[in-house]
Each structure stands twice: as structure tokens, then as C-alpha cells.
Amino acid sequence: MHTPTYAPAYLAAELRLPTNGLDYAILGIYFAVVLGIGFAARRSVKTSLDFFLSGRSLPAWITGLAFISANLAATEILGMAANSAQYGAYTVHWYWIGAIPAMVFLGLVMMPFYYGSKVRSVPEFLLLRFDKGAHLLSSILFAFAAILIAGVNLYALAIVVQALLGWPQWVAIVVAGFFVLAYITLGGLSSAIYNEVLQFFVILAALIPIVVLSLKKVGGWDGLTHKLTATHGHDFTTAWGGTGIGHANPLGANWLTIVLGLGFVLSFGYWTTNFAEVQRALSAKNLSAAQRTPLIAAFPKIFIVFLVMIPGLAAAALVPKIGTSGSGLQYNDAIPYLMQELLPNGVLGIAVTGLLAAFMAGMAANVSSFNTVFTTDIWAKYVVKDREDSYYVRFGRLITAIGVLASVGTAFLASSFSNIMSYLQTLFSFFNVPMFVVFIVGMFWKRASMKSGFWGLLAGTTAAMVNYFVLYKKDIIHLPSDQGANFVSAIAGFVAGAVVMVAVSLFTKPKPERELQGLVYGTRSPGLSEPPAPGDAAWYRRPALLGWGAVVLAALCYIPFSF
């Protein structure tokens, strides 16, 4: 997961929003449309490929917007606004260096292997490239992590809904769980993806008025930076101020750990190997559309940072004591606080709808990737093999229901043991790092042996955890903050995974070369021989142009924040 791990904190009780019938009507319409999409998508599900991967037939603009939406969960929106209220403009790093390069790399370099090899999931790629050890380990860990994150999302939703609307927590958990269960069981991935695209636009409609009005309230961008410089110092509104090695800054990280830890290891791990993201690209209709999925997503990602950072900064300027005991507000309250202060009924209903939609999409992305991995990677490969295809569609629907019930259970558990949950969340976040090592070594080094995948995964995960939970938490090495420790642990996991992979490869047999066709850089994948679709040659659909355009644009965005 990409968002800094905030334990879902209790929102201040005085944040109750003055919602009225109009706002609830807007919310009700949305829920009705969500269910309608589920029912309407149902008739498109004929094979298991339709249910789990939309038949590999969706256009790039839909998969691209779903790709960004699956990441734009409410925990991300509230968490990044909180991050901005606490650390200031450093938040841009999570977007411009911590997302764009990895998304472009996924589209330009990795997608031909992912999509071209026709795998249905990220673990399935590991099965083809390495062996069953790596496959089973990654499938099981992913399945657990997906349910856990879905549950944490549901719990965070319950807290926010309780604070803002006054619903009891269990009502919010059951209602949201029911809607997600209904539309994914009915329409499978198509229904999840269609709802994510719809949600993307509702979120924009929710956040833009908040940004405009909060800027107006603090006197525009100049007024905002002026106020913050006076209360928080000059570095608060810059991206790199105070990040020299040896300097102290609130983030607890220097430019090197930001670039390597966040920008390289954590970000590439999340964006290129997290199946909840990659699944959206694998459902695209051809290789060109699959490549363009993360690239189309990169452009909104560059600008979304303003929609979450400006409310966070504005909250810090309006409530200088936010996050301390001197005010009743937590960092997480930044956006709810501005909604309460600034939005009249009507737009308020849109904002509440956007927030709830974002929670449900965050949960749905995890549920729809969980059911795919559990069915195609665990059940159909190790438990009940070689049954007719319709059996696996039925099983997929059943496991979706079980997955949602399990995450509802997780949410209830989280409400009693929220510390354990944030601990588990951190624990699983370290799993993406060695996944990335194994992918990158496996894709670029033919000699990486069959066994090296499993051991690389295990060693990298262990190293990252030991560094975080033993060396940092027990204060054996001193790191200034949780965020800083996160970055360093990621780098440790990456290095350990890579070293173990190389060592194991030197002593075990490589995979025969003919089995590596389409899986390793320098070989051709069978999918590459498919003819391009008409119109894909248009200049604005060329992956290289889109990809490099996004990288250049993100770099340019840094300029005004660098001085």
C-alpha cells in the first residue's frame, strides 16, 4: 500500500456535518446507480475470464481511469491531506517521484511481459517465470493482504461516517459491505471497474469545490504560503527544503532516502507488482491499451496531488494547532473540517458521496483482485483442478461473498484492536518490496534460477521487517520518524532480496531458455504477434510519447516547489 500508514484515528465528534434531505438524495442516487451497474454488467459475464478480467476487452480510457481510482481510495485522500497538514509540501514526492516514474516503467517496460504472456494475475507470472514455491507464497500473502486492506478501508469508512453523519459504526460497515458484495458478485471485474471510473469523476466533483473555497478563505496561494511561512517556516511549502543529508526535517528523511526508498523501491513495488492495480491493465483489450492504462492514469495522478495537498495546507494555515492537543482536530480531520466549514447543502451531498464512493472503491479494488487470485491461483491450481469453466465462475462468486464477509469481520476486529491492525498493515506493506526485486531480477536476468524467486521473496520480506520491527522499533539504529524508517526498511528489503536471489541462482539450475520466451527482457512474447487495432498508430496513443510526456511534466511540476 502506498499511503503512509495512519491508524484510522478517531475523528473529532464536533465534525458532524449539517446534512439535509437533499444531500441524502444525492447519496441515494449514487447507491442506486452503483447497484444498477452491477445488474447491467451481469449479462456480460459468461466465462471466468469475463468475471475475473472483463474478458480482456476494455478500452484504455476506462482501464486507465480505473487504475487511478483503485489507488484513490478514501484512506489515500484523507491520509495525503493529513500528510500535507503535518509535513507540508513534501506530499508532492508521493506523486511526482513516488508514482509517475513507476507507472511509466510499468506501461513501457513491464506491460509487454505481463499482458503479452497472457497471465491472469501477478502471481501467475511468477509461476511461469519461477516455480510453484514463489507462486504459492505470493498468492497466499496477497490474498491475506487484500482482505486486510479491504477490512481496514471498511473500518476507516465506519469511523468517518460515524463522525460526519452520525451513523453507528456497524451500520456503515454492513451497508458498504453489502453494496460492494452485491455489485462485484453480480458483474465481476467489469462492474468493479465501471464503478471505479464513475467514482473518479464524483471524487473530482467533491474535491474541486473544497480546493477552490479553501484557497479563497486563506487568500489564494500567496496568502496560503505567506501564512504557512509565518507559522511553520519556509521549508513547509517547498518540496526539497531541509532534506539535505544530516539536516533535520519533520519527515525524517533526506533526499537520498526519498529518491531511493520512496521513489524507487516503495513506489515501484506498489505500482508495478500490486495486483489490485495491475489487474486493471490486464483487463484492457489489447497490448497497446494495456500499456496505455498506467500512462493515461499518470496524467491525472500528477495533478491530483493539488486536490489533496491544498486542503491539507489550508487546514494547517486555518488551524495552526491542528494535530496537537491544543486543538480538537487531528491531521486526518483536514478535509472533513473544510467540508463542514465551507460547503453548503448540495455540494456537501456531492462531497459526502465522493468520500463514501472512494471508500467503497478502495475496498472493491481489493475484493475484486482477491477473488481472482484466490480462484485462479490457489483454488484452480492446487485444490480443485481441471473442472469446467462455469464451476470457477460460480466459485468466484462464492469466494467474493466470503471475501467481503471476511473483510467485514476484519473491520469489526479493527474496531476493537486498531493498534494490531496498523501493525499488520505495516507488515504487509513490506511484502511489495521483495515482489519488485523478484520481478525486476527475473525479467532482466535470464540466469535467475527457478528457486531464486521463492528465496528472494522470503529474504527481502524478512529483511524489511527485521529492519523496521527490530532495528528501528527497538531503537538499535536511530531513525527520526516512522516515515523515514519506512523508506530505509524498503531499501534494506530490496538489497537483501537481490543479494539472496543472485546467491541462490549461482548454486541452482536456471530455467531452460525455451520456457522463458515472453517472460524475460530480450525475448518475444506470444502476445506481441497480435496485430495492432486500427487507430492505435495515432500519435496521441503512442505509449512512448505518453510515458515520457508524463515524466517530463512531473519533473516540470517540481520547479515551482524547489526554491
Partner 1 sequence: MSESENTAHRSGHDVQREVEELESKSATAARIFDLRRIIGGLFVLYGIIVTITGITDSQAAIDKAQGVNINLWTGIGMLVLGVFFLVWLKLRPIVPPQETESD
Chain residues that interact with partner 1, rule: CB under 8 A = 22, 25-26, 29-30, 33, 36-37, 40-41, 43-50, 54-58, 62, 117-120, 124, 127-128, 131-132, 190, 194, 197-198, 201, 205, 208-209, 212-213, 216-217, 285, 341-347, 350, 381, 389, 450, 511-512, 515, 526
> 297-300, long-range: CB within 8 Å, 24+ apart, which pairs?
297/64, 297/65, 297/67, 297/68, 297/103, 298/99, 298/100, 298/103, 298/104, 298/107, 298/546, 298/547, 298/550, 298/554, 299/550, 299/553, 300/65, 300/68, 300/200
Phi, psi of 510, deg, nearest 5? -75, 165
Give the nearest distance from C-beta 345 to partner 1 in angstroms. Answer: 7
Task: Return all residues near 500 (Cβ < 8 A) that are at least 6 apart.
Answer: 452, 455, 456, 458, 459, 460
Give the nearest distance from C-beta 164 to partner 1 in angstroms. Answer: 17
Whose Cβ is closer to partner 1: residue 189's or residue 496's?
A: 189
Give the nearest distance from C-beta 186 to partner 1 in angstroms. Answer: 13
Give the nearest distance from C-beta 521 to partner 1 in angstroms. Answer: 17
Whose Cβ is closer to partner 1: residue 26's or residue 122's?
A: 26
DSSP letters along 245-285, please? TT---TT---HHHIIIIIIIIIHHHHHHH-HHHHHHHHTBS
Whose Cβ is closer to partner 1: residue 76's or residue 124's?
A: 124
Whose Cβ is closer to partner 1: residue 14's or residue 515's?
A: 515
Half-sphere exposure of 139 (CA within 13 A, CB side): 25
Give the nearest distance from C-beta 432 to partner 1 in angstroms. Answer: 23
CB 197 within 8 A of CB 66: yes
Whose Cβ is closer to partner 1: residue 90's or residue 179's?
A: 179
Number of H helices, E strands in the chain: 23, 0
Q: What does the alpha-carbon distance between residue 69 and residue 65 come to, in Å, rounded to a whole number?
A: 6
Question: Quick one: cell of 325?
Answer: 492537543
DSSP 532: P
Whose Cβ is closer to partner 1: residue 124's or residue 235's?
A: 124
Whose Cβ is closer to partner 1: residue 99's or residue 284's?
A: 284
Give the nearest distance from C-beta 117 to partner 1 in angstroms. Answer: 7
Give the nearest distance from C-beta 421 to partner 1 in angstroms. Answer: 34
CB 9 within 8 A of CB 330: yes
Give the nearest distance from C-beta 367 to partner 1 in angstroms. Answer: 19
Whose Cβ is closer to partner 1: residue 86's or residue 195's?
A: 195
CB atoms within 10 A of CB 252: 18
